[in-house]
Amino acid sequence: MNLLYYWQPDNYRRDRRYGFGYHLSQNSAIMNSVDNGGTIWAFTRRGDGRYVLAAEFLARRVTRNPAGYTYGKYRAWADTDRTRYFDLADAPDIEPIVRGLAVRSNATHLGQSFQGTSAVRFLGVGDVQALSAFAVGLPSLARVGFYPEDVLEARFLGEDVAGRVVRDVSETRIDYLYGRDTPDRQVVREIPNPELFGTNDDMRIRYVMEQLKGGRDSEFRRVATELRETYAGRCQVCEFDPQIRYAQEICHVHHVVWLSRGGDNDRSNLVVLCPNHHAIVHRDDAPFDYGSLAFSFANGAVEALRLNLHLPGIA
Ligand SMILES: [Zn+2]
Ligand SMILES: [Zn+2]
pLDDT at residue 154 in the model = 46
Which bound ligand lies closest to the C-alpha atom of 235?
1
Instruction: Give distance in angstroms: CA of 274 to centre of ligand 2.
Output: 10
Instruction: Give distance in angstroms: CA of 309 to centre of ligand 1.
Output: 16
Cβ count within 10 A of residue 32 = 15
Which fold would CATH assign to domain 3-135? ph1033 like fold (3.10.590)
ipTM of the complex in this document: 0.98
Which bound ligand lies closest to the C-alpha atom of 208?
2
Picking from 264, 244, 245, the residue whose alpha carbon sits closest to that of residue 253 is 264
Which bound ligand lies closest to the C-alpha atom of 258?
2
pLDDT at residue 215 in the model = 53
Tell me if residue 315 falls in helix, strand or coil. Answer: coil
Q: Classify burial at 81, counting beta carbons within 10 Å of its beta carbon; exposed 0-12, middle 13-18, buried 19 or more.
A: exposed
Confidence of residue 216 (pLDDT cuts 50, 70, 90): low
Instruction: Give distance in angstroms: CA of 143 to centre of ligand 2.
Output: 22
Q: How far apart are CA 232 and CA 244, in angstroms?
A: 7
pLDDT of residue 193 exceeding 60, the answer is no
For the chain, domain boundaries: 3-135, 148-304
Taking ligand 1, which is a single-atom ion, which protein residues have CB atoms under 5 Å away? Answer: 235, 237-238, 240, 274, 277
Average per-residue pLDDT in the chain? 80
Q: Distances from the Cα of 140 to the Cαs of 197, 201, 221, 227, 281, in angstroms?
A: 15, 16, 37, 41, 28
Which bound ligand lies closest to the C-alpha atom of 283?
2
Higher pLDDT, 259 or 270: 270
Instruction: Give distance in angstroms: CA of 58 to centre of ligand 2.
Output: 23
Taking ligand 2, which is a single-atom ion, which protein residues have CB atoms under 5 Å away? Answer: 254
Q: Which helix (H) or strand (E) holds 219?
A: helix 219-230
pLDDT tens sequence across 107-138: 999 999 999 889 999 999 999 999 999 999 99
Contacts 24+ apart (CB under 8 A), 280-285: 281/254, 282/153, 282/154, 283/154, 285/77, 285/80
